[in-house]
Each structure stands twice: as structure tokens, then as C-alpha cells.
Amino acid sequence: MTDVPANPVTREDPPRQRFTARVAITAAAALVVLTSYLFTVWAPPESSDVPPILLFNGNGTSANGVAAVETILKAGDLKYSTANTRQLNGMSESQLSAYRLIIFPGGNYITMGESLTPGATANIHNAVQGGLNYLGICAGGLLAGNAPCNSLNLTSGVRFDFYAEVNRGIHKAVVAIDAPDTPALEHYWEDGPQFTGWGEVVGKYPNGSPAIVEGRSGQGWVILCGVHPEAPASWRRGMTFTTPASVDNAYAATLINAALHGKQLPHFVSQSR
């Protein structure tokens, strides 16, 4: 056992030991500074680094529909993240609000809604009311209304129905969508909704019912689309279009950018509410 010095407080270390101690202290301080610097440089990104767009790809979404939307986003060099059902169920309102736009693509709106928790749909609803923008395509448009499932109700209680062709037993068709001051574009349609009773009408089905609408939901900008302008040419097999897929895809990019930036598109005279 090493003896304890009789007077450790007043004992002076030899000069070499004092020099070694100073070097050790200096090195330790430098290590602290370096560690702090590296932590600052390599720290996890803050919420400001969240991409502007969140794309839902969870239960009920069409895998092909998600892929088609991703193709449009990538072509426009638009940064985005995806969230499946589990991830979206786990996101808080503040986490959702870090994004500028959430996109719900086509698929089965009932499965989408019922796979999400009531807390998740409430968080999305509240985030939109607080300023998160929303784009709903086909099923995503139905889910935005007061649907007969666990829906988002961004429409102050308005519930949407399917386009009339469904009642005739038609579930897939080429439809010409009329828009203000532009030639009609033929889009791919598959069991899509119409949006009577909410928003401003951006595009109309051949029977005059609203196919594309836009409007405010709280502070959020909402665009709902009953057709699939994002559809690639491969979806058109066995169907005849006069509008090239590239033109429709460009229109899909227009809708995404308008939703992202809260930009109002040309619309018809306001529908009664």
C-alpha cells in the first residue's frame, strides 16, 4: 500500500510532474472543445431539415399509385418523405406540422381510414387546420371528407360520393375533365369520387359534377382530385386517349405544386354550399 503524504495539501510536485499535469489538463480541454465541435457538425438535423412533402404509402394505398406519385415528385426534384400506417399513427401533430404538404394517393379509402387510429386522423386534421396543406387523389379525396369511416373531415362535414359512372357498373374509364379557359384533358379514372358541395371547382366531369376542387380548411390549403393525372402510360393499356400521358403527368405536377405552395388554380363559378 502506498503511504499517504503527511501534508498532501501543501506538498509541491516536482517541476516535471507539474508540467505533465498542465499538458494533461490542456489536452483534456482541447478534447472537450473538439468533441463539442464534432457534435455540432454531426448533430441530427433539426426540424427545418424535414423535406416539404410527406407521402402516405400505408395500408389501403395502391402500390402503383404511390409509385406514380413518386415518379412525378422525382421528375420535379421535389424532396419528400414517405410514411406507412405505423409511422403515421406514431406521428404527433407538431411532427406533421413540420411538413408543408401531405399527400394521400389512390387506393381503398376505407382501409386507409380504418388502419389509422382516431388519434392519427385527429392529428392530421388539426395539423391541416394549423397550416399543413393536403392533396388527396381519388381515395385520398374521399378520405378528406366526412366519410363513413375513420376519416379526416377537412370539409366541415361534407361527405363525397362516387362519380356517376360507378352507378352504371363502370369502374375504369377515360374521362375528359373540363377546366376554365383551357382545352379539356382526358385522364385515367378508376372508381373516383366527385366533390359536390365543397370548395371551388377546378375541373368538371363530362356530366358537370366537380372532379377537382380546392379550398381552405382552417389555415391549410386543400386540393382534391377524383381522377389520376399521375397515371403512367402503362395504366392505359386497352384504352384510347387523345391526351398524351406526359401532358396529364404535367398536370399532376401542377396540382402538387399548387397544393405545396397553397396556390389557387383557375376555377369555375363557386358551387353552392
What confidence score (pLDDT) does residue 28 get? 36
pLDDT digits over 45-62, tens only?
A: 334 589 999 999 999 999
Ranges of the chain whose pLDDT falls below 50:
1-47, 272-273
Beta partners for 137? 225
- Strand runs labelled E in the chain: 53-56, 80-83, 101-104, 133-137, 161-162, 173-179, 182-189, 193-194, 200-204, 210-217, 220-225
What confidence score (pLDDT) does residue 48 get? 58
Domain ranges of the chain: 51-261
Which of 195, 230, 156, 93 has its CA nearest to residue 102? 93
The answer to whether the CB of 130 falls within 8 A of the CB of 95 is no
Percent of the chain with pLDDT over 90: 79
What confidence score (pLDDT) does residue 41 get? 31
* Beta strands 161-162 and 193-194, pairing class: antiparallel
pLDDT digits over 198-208, tens only?
A: 999 999 999 99
* Single-letter amino acid code for the residue at 49: D
Q: In what order do the strands lie in the sheet with 101-104?
A: 80-83, 53-56, 101-104, 133-137, 220-225, 210-217, 200-204, 173-179, 182-189
Q: Which fold has domain 51-261?
A: Rossmann fold (3.40.50)
